[in-house]
Amino acid sequence: MIIKCLKSNLLNGVQTVYKAVPSKTTMSILECILIKADERGIVLTANDMEIGIETRIEGTVVEEGIIALEAKILFEIVRKLPDSEIIIDTDESLKASITCEKSNFTIVGRSGDDFSYLPEIDKKDPIIISHFTLKEIVRQTIFSISDNDNNIIMTGEYMEINENELKLVSLDGHRISIRKVTLKNNYEPKKVIIPGKTLNEVSKILSGDAEKDLYIYFTDKHVLFEFDKTIVVSRLIEGEYFKIDQMLSSDYETKIEINKKELLDCIDRATLLVKEGDKRPIIISVNDDNMQLKINSAVGSMNEEININKEGKTLMIGFNPKFLIDALRVIDDETINIYMVNPKAPCFIKNDDESYIYLILPVNFNTVS
């Protein structure tokens, strides 16, 4: 195999598929990136058996062939080569010569036959969504997935498609994040659980261009994302998702309208007094025309007031400040509405059409030492 391409093209391709190279594995072939040169051009592939990424890069195929090269070494070599044309030349002994200007590396490769190829996905009836929209709704929900593998369902995001509405949901046992968007077309109903890692990696690769479309295909066990010259294939998480609708309520005793930035900045300041690992709550007192926020820790204390518009009862309630910060940071509205029932019931941050809903469980601050 002999290929020629610009460093920028090769580096971009390697960085794209590198996201599917496992950090730890008992199968050494999975630590490689497969380079295949044929009539399609130059195609790079990585696969950790849960998520696989394939991308096509611009370049010239001088001689067709295939080889698997250790991903980390390939990435570091390409990254540090001059910004010029790179030539990769392999021989029958599976050694790869990587040449750029006056620099030459020779590294040992592996047979492409040993590589775990991506599963074949029958591309039928794609869901079409813009790069920008998917990137945004993932950003606005991904923080609520659980990193605890004890409940695999919580490590994924629930995607529900009903006619022209797409809903993305994540939860970790302490909070729920929901985003709804309107699609350009109508689709058959679909309910799947996509691994959070997959959505996170797809989101990182996407350009964020509102004019570019992304195609999503489903099978019973896999999801495929296709965009630009890249495809990402992932296993779906099997099982039934939580009955979210039963957790949501429109009842409230207290409604607050507040400037989002003021509230976010205030809570952010309060966390200066909380050491990492210290689960110190922020205590919120809702009064007639202001909200008082207090935090006490071994470092010190803070007390601040913010003007609000209130409907309903006064209330004192405690929250994990991180959970409030995570939700507030991804809301784009200047003014937000917060709905509460009592100090032991969840609060809801949502807009009028409920295109976003953030449910956060309170903490019992009376028992926190």
CATH topology of domain 2-114: DNA Polymerase III; Chain A, domain 2 (3.10.150)
The pLDDT score that the predictor gives to residue 369 is: 38
Would you list the domain boundaries of the chain? 2-114, 127-242, 248-367
The pLDDT score that the predictor gives to residue 277 is: 74
Residues ≥6 apart with Cβ < 8 Å to 249: 341, 348
The CATH superfamily assigned to 248-367 is DNA Polymerase III, subunit A, domain 2 (3.10.150.10)
Q: Which CATH number fits domain 127-242: 3.10.150.10, 3.40.50.300, 3.50.30.40, 3.40.190.10?
A: 3.10.150.10
Which CA distances in Å does 141 have to 90, 137, 150, 180, 242? 44, 6, 20, 11, 16
Strands (E), 110-174: 127-130, 156-171
Q: Do domains 2-114 and 127-242 have the same CATH topology?
A: yes
- C-alpha span between 312 and 309 (Å, rounded): 10
Give Cα 135 distance to the centre of its chain. 8
Could you say which residues of the chain have pLDDT below 70?
Answer: 366-369
Which CA distances in Å does 336 have to 80, 258, 288, 349? 47, 6, 17, 7
Structure tokens of 255? 């409604």
Three-state DSSP at 322 gives helix
First to last CA, the chain: 66
- C-alpha span between 316 and 293 (Å, rounded): 10
